[in-house]
Amino acid sequence: MMNLSEGLKRFRNELHITQKEVADNAHISIRNYQDYEYGKVVPTATALIAIANFYDISLDYLVGRSDNPKRNA
């Protein structure tokens, strides 16, 4: 399993989107998102939920606790 910052980079690169696009859609600042992706800052629970919602993946998958990306209905 990968760490959070690696996952954030991978998800974003797979979709060919910018850090700004993720930040804007997750309603967080670009600077905060960059700090999360570079592993400088641990995101708040609210930020993690917003990012997981943007990617339409489970929070556990986002943080590396599961290999299943599907969200529980």
Number of residues that make up the chain: 73
Is 70 among the domain residues? Answer: no
**Is the pLDDT score of 72 beyond 70?**
no
- Residue 33: which of 56, 54, 24 has the closest Cα? 24
Is 71 among the domain residues? Answer: no
**From CA 4, how far away is CA 40, in angstroms rounded?**
11
Is 35 among the domain residues? Answer: yes
Q: Can you give the pTM of this predicted structure? A: 0.86
Number of domains composing the chain: 1
Is 42 among the domain residues? Answer: yes
Over the stretch 39-67, which tens digit does the pLDDT of each residue have? 999 999 999 999 999 999 988 888 887 77
Is 27 among the domain residues? Answer: yes
**Is the pLDDT score of 16 beyond 80?**
yes
Look up the domain containing 48 and give its range.
Answer: 4-62
Q: How confident is the model at residue 2 (pLDDT cuts 50, 70, 90)?
A: low
